[in-house]
């Protein structure tokens, strides 16, 4: 074993996430033929990735985040896998005094494109979800697509988050990815950023040969990505490899076994101590400061254009992306108007109530406790009817957040399941507003959706996709002859 073991560290980061796939009216995931022989991709990926990695104890040794929507599904459908993943973080807390799990912004929203208020809700919900599941506050948070701007980092710091992970090309100048950096924020605040090793993370993600043998990876690949000056001077350094967690067994079969051997034997045999971000930061705080290129993301070389106006990161005509985003953003404004107006007699601060709604929705807090904290009239709703109306409008806000799930804009065309799901979430929000306040937001939304057009399927528009969604019971959506009284 190398005498430099104590100075060379390896951290494997896994971003474990699945978007919500369930029908927002029924709560059931429709059959997904591509997942055969499994009924849907959640089940398929669980068998191929989450379960074998949990059973092998791989979560114990890596740094990871478990997306809230995936965590909720695992808790219901595969509780043994869910409990074993949570236990990995608890084991690290007991053994090292710091956990190895990070929180995730709740709906995998591209936060630089969100409003300030929505940024805060996404971060607050992610942190609250983490605290409930893991039993302690999160020190770090994973940002969807590592998309970042300074306002997002400032809100993270304000919420007590100490660090996040970015790509090395998200900086204004080159950095040494073997060490953490400080990022200065307004008001004298700061946050720590770890930069993953780009070439090595890309190789692990996309090159089969890189992960064909864990010993070869540790002996030949890792040393090539060390800082030579630090190696010569025995200065501490860490190689951070960050990938989608689903890589280990789903995207690449049997790579869960590669991961097991690497973290248990391979890395150590070739002079690398396996660590986690929390442990490394505790023992090696940042000594240098860096300026970021913002807004930016790991998966778009045009800032965050991939999820806004479109860019050549995806093939074909991206004109559908700004059209879809524009329709959703306009709907979000209308949802907010109805929410603040209709709940004014019931909620002392509607946005504080929205930020706290996750606990009520998930049953972590009783309705009495929620209304005592956020209601008017000495903590009591004006009536049972008023309480129900307010909770329906809070639920509409929940689905208003879901409709900005990033994968709806990530790929090349409108005619895919991901944009369809975002449109389905929008329809659920429209339904809840109609039931609660009898305000018809559907007609205007469908009209604006018509501007989003598929290039894969000529003639297909976002309005067509809306109309193709599964039928719902009468009364859940506005009567087609009913005009919007607020229009």
Domains annotated on the chain, with CATH? 5-289 (3.20.110.20), 317-468 (no CATH)
Q: Cα–Cα distance between 289 and 484 in angstroms, integer?
A: 53
Q: What is the pLDDT of residue 483?
A: 47
Query: In tens digits, what is the pLDDT along the chain, a chain of 487 residues?
Result: 333 446 999 999 999 999 999 999 999 999 999 999 999 999 999 999 999 999 999 999 999 999 999 999 999 999 999 999 999 999 999 999 999 999 999 999 999 999 999 999 999 999 999 999 999 999 999 999 999 999 999 999 999 999 999 999 999 999 999 999 999 999 999 999 999 999 999 999 999 999 999 999 999 999 999 999 999 999 999 999 999 999 999 999 999 999 999 999 999 999 999 999 999 999 999 999 999 999 999 999 999 999 999 999 999 999 999 999 999 999 999 999 999 999 999 999 999 999 999 999 999 999 999 999 999 977 666 799 999 999 999 999 999 999 999 999 999 999 999 999 999 999 999 999 999 999 999 999 999 999 999 999 999 999 999 999 999 999 999 987 554 444 4
Please state, in angstroms and rounded to a whole number, the distance separating the CA atoms of residues 160 and 162. Answer: 6
Taking the C-alpha atoms of residue 381 and residue 463, their distance in angstroms, rounded to an integer, is 38
Tokens of 186: 């307004």
CB atoms within 10 A of CB 206: 12
- Report the pLDDT value the prediction gives residue 1, as an integer from 0 to 100: 36
Q: Cβ(232)–Cβ(181) under 8 Å?
A: no
Rounded Cα gap, residues 148 and 296, in angstroms: 6
Dmax over CA atoms of the chain, in Å, equals: 78
pLDDT of residue 382: 76
Residue 478 to residue 69: CA distance in whole angstroms:
29
pTM above 0.75, yes or no: yes
pLDDT at 343: 97
pLDDT of residue 480: 73
Handedness of CA 146, 150, 154, 155 (dihedral sign): negative
The two tokens of residue 451 are: 């501007």
pLDDT at 437: 97
Q: Which residues contact 150 (CB under 8 A, 6 or more apart)?
A: 185, 186, 292, 294
In degrees and rounded to multiples of 5, residue 461 shows phi and psi of -120, 170
């Amino acid at each position: 074993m190398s005498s430099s073991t104590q100075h060379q560290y390896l951290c494997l980061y896994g971003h474990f996430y699945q978007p919500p796939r369930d029908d927002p009216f029924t709560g059931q995931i429709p059959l997904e033929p591509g997942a055969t022989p499994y009924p849907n991709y959640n089940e398929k990926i669980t068998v191929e990735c989450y379960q074998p990695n949990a059973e092998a104890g791989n979560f114990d040794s890596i740094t990871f985040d478990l997306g809230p929507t995936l965590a909720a599904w695992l808790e219901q459908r595969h509780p043994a896998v869910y409990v074993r993943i949570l236990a990995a973080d608890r084991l690290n807390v007991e053994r090292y005094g710091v956990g190895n799990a990070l929180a995730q912004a709740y709906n995998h929203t591209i936060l630089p494109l969100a409003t300030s208020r929505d940024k805060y809700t996404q971060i607050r919900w992610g942190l609250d979800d983490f605290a409930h599941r893991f039993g302690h506050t999160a020190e770090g948070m994973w940002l969807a697509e590592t998309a970042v701007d300074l306002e997002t980092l400032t809100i993270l710091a304000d919420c007590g988050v100490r660090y996040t992970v970015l790509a090395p090309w998200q900086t204004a100048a080159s950095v040494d990815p073997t060490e953490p950096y400080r990022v200065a924020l307004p008001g004298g605040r700061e946050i720590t950023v770890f930069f993953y090793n780009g070439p090595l993370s890309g190789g692990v993600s996309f090159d089969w040969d890189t992960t064909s043998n864990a010993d070869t990876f540790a002996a030949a690949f890792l040393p090539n990505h060390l800082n030579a000056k630090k190696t010569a001077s025995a200065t501490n350094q860490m190689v951070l490899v960050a990938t989608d967690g689903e890589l280990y067994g789903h995207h690449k079969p049997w790579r869960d076994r590669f991961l097991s051997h690497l973290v248990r034997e391979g890395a150590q045999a070739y002079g690398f101590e396996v660590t986690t971000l929390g442990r490394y930061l505790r023992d090696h705080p940042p000594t240098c400061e860096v300026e970021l290129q913002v807004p930016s993301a790991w998966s778009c070389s045009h800032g965050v254009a991939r999820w806004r106006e479109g860019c050549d990161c995806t093939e074909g005509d991206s004109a559908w992306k700004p059209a879809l985003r524009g329709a959703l953003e306009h709907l979000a404004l209308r949802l907010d108007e109805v929410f603040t107006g209709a709940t004014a007699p019931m909620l002392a601060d509607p946005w504080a109530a929205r930020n706290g709604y996750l606990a009520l929705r998930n049953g972590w807090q009783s309705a009495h406790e929620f209304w005592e904290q956020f209601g008017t009239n000495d903590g009591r709703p004006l009536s049972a009817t008023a309480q129900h109306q307010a909770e329906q409008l809070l639920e509409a806000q929940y689905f208003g957040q879901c409709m900005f799930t990033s994968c709806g804009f990530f790929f090349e065309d409108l005619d895919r399941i991901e944009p369809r799901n975002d449109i389905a979430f929008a329809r659920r929000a429209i339904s809840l507003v109609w039931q609660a306040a009898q305000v018809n937001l559907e007609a205007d939304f469908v009209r604006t959706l018509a501007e989003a057009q598929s290039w894969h399927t000529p003639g297909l528009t976002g309005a067509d996709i809306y109309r193709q969604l599964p039928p719902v019971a009468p009364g859940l959506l506005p009567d087609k002859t009913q005009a919007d009284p607020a229009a």
